Amino acid sequence: MGGLLRYGIPDFKMEKTHIDRRLEQLSAEGVHFQCGVELGLDIKINDMIKEHDALILACGAEKPRDLDIEGRNADGIHFAMDFLPQQNRRVGKEMLEGLEEITADGKHVVVIGGGDTGSDCIGTSIRQGALSVTQLEIMPAPPEREDKLLTWPNWPLKMRTSSSQEEGADREFSVLTTSFGVENGKVSSLNCIRVNEKFEKIENSEFVIKADLVLLAMGFVSPITDRIFKDTEVSLDKRGNVLADDKSYKTSLDKLWVAGDMRRGQSLVVWAIREGRQAAKSVDKALMGYSSLSD
């Protein structure tokens, strides 16, 4: 979670002094942090299980949803989480050694996908000096006012505009990108078409958007488990998440628990907080025979 807060959320939304303060508090309480360690690469999960009485994985759902269409491999098309952390590193005066530098300065930027990640891409692109920013969503435009009787008790569906979108992004709804235009190996445009509420293409509604930089912010499909479990078999659900129930949070491996997006898939941080607490209680009960921890 600390890595997501520091590198996934732009500084204009959350200053990193808040993270530093909390890390100091956790360290003083006895938590030991080992940074720069990648599970499955720098250390094997089997070794960690052998060395500890309990292991909780809360690695998140980091595998981004891709757009497999013509021209996808052109230069200038990047996942949002390859773009956003670079700016946080610049603000934090960190080096970008070994990374292909991605910047929106002087470019026409297209962000594909809505949500918080898409808004973060918009705000960052504007601050970097983009010539224009356009956001595309395949979903239809939501109503200006919610139908409370229809949506309650679920989150009400209505048009919402983030502070980043207010800063100057053009928003297009019900749009499907069919291919990328490519010139000299670099993306130059997006070939698009309008779709109806069933995501069916609308005849004669094709249009083209100029683009020098395309950022894919279409969400995340599952945790990246191949490297972590390359020498270990663990049960996964049909979506590729690590299989565990929402009572014990225990996986199919001995001494291994899992919580948050790694178990339930891409979701809200409040769910990660809740599952982290419940998983901690489950581990406490497994080790001690009882637990006085609250959920």
DSSP output for 131-168? SEEEEE-SSPPPPSS--HHHHTTSPPP-----HHHHTT
What confidence category does residue 153 fall into, taking pLDDT thresholds of 50, 70 and 90? confident
Start-end ranges of CATH 3.50.50.60 in the chain?
2-55+221-288, 66-218
What is the residue-averaged pLDDT of the chain? 92
Pick the CATH number of 66-218 from 3.20.20.120, 3.50.50.60, 1.10.10.60, 3.30.1780.10: 3.50.50.60
Distance CA 105, CA 96 (A): 17
Residue 93: which region, alpha, beta or left (left: phi > 0; alpha: psi -120 to 50)? left
Asked whether the beta carbons of 206 and 235 are under 8 A apart, the reply is: no
Residue-wise pLDDT for 77-125, tens only, equals 999 999 999 999 999 988 888 888 999 999 999 999 988 899 999 999 9
What percent of the chain shows pLDDT beyond 90? Answer: 73
For residue 176, name the pLDDT band (cuts at 50, 70, 90).
Answer: very high
> Is the domain 2-55+221-288 a CATH 3.50.50.60 member?
yes
Number of Cβ within 10 Å of residue 271's Cβ equals 17
Give the DSSP H/E element, type plus range, for residue 11.
none
- Does this model's pTM top 0.85? My answer is yes
pLDDT (0 to 100) of residue 114 = 85
Residue range 187-210: average pLDDT?
97
User: Quick check: 235 and 100 in contact, CB under 8 A?
Assistant: no
